[in-house]
Structures are given as C-alpha cells and as structure tokens.
C-alpha cells in the first residue's frame, strides 16, 4: 500500500510589485523559531529597515500590517502547512 506523502511546512515569499513568487522555503523546527525579518534577509531578499529591528520605523512590514522584526516565522498564519509573506515593494 503506497504511503501518503505528507506536505512539509513551507514559507512562500511573494513580491507584490513583481507579482512573482520570490522564494519557497521548507521550514524546519529551528527556522520556525527564527525572527521573521532575519529569516527573510537570510534568503537573500532585501527588506527595508531604518531602526535596526527595534520596532519603530515599520519599514519591515509584510502582508500590509505585520512588523517582521517583532515576530517569529511560526507566528505567520498558516493555511495547511503553507505560510505566506507578501512584500509590497518587491
């Protein structure tokens, strides 16, 4: 009997301006605990910031309202195993 393939937890990073899927990353238990801003930057994507992650400038916002420097990857709402980030200016 064939085993049912289980989907892995994934983070999709989309660009709103480009209308492209910029990255699709499989999440580990460790990466889910990472700061979201640092995680996005570690994927080679530029994320604006002028307060160096102190939560003041709000340049690092994704999904229109989420301040990435103040949250963990696992705090993104998940649809099944997929979490999604949309960066407005990319």
For binding to ligand FES (CB under 6 A), which residues are involved? 49, 51, 53, 55-60, 67, 69
Taking each continuous run of H as one helix and of E as one strand, the counts in the chain are 2, 6
> Closest distance between ligand FES and the C-beta of residue 40, in Å?
11
Dihedral sign (CA 48, 50, 52, 55): negative
> Closest distance between ligand FES and the C-beta of residue 43, in Å?
16
> Closest distance between ligand FES and the C-beta of residue 6, in Å?
34
Between 59 and 78, name the residue whose CB sits nearer to ligand FES.
59
Q: Give the C-alpha separation, 8 to 44, whole Å.
A: 22
Between 22 and 61, name the residue whose CB sits nearer to ligand FES.
61
User: Which residue's C-beta sits nearest to ligand FES?
Assistant: 69
Helix (H) or strand (E) holding 61: strand 61-62
Helix (H) or strand (E) holding 78: strand 78-79
Between 10 and 72, name the residue whose CB sits nearer to ligand FES.
72
């Amino acid at each position: 009997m064939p085993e049912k393939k289980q989907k892995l937890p994934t983070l999709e990073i989309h660009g709103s301006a480009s209308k492209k899927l910029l990255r699709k990353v499989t999440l580990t238990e460790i990466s889910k605990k990472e700061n979201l801003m640092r995680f996005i930057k570690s994927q080679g994507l530029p994320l604006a910031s002028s307060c160096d992650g102190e939560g003041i400038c709000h340049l690092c916002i994704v999904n229109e309202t989420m301040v990435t420097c103040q949250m963990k990857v696992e705090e993104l709402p998940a649809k099944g195993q997929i979490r999604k980030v949309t960066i407005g200016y990319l």
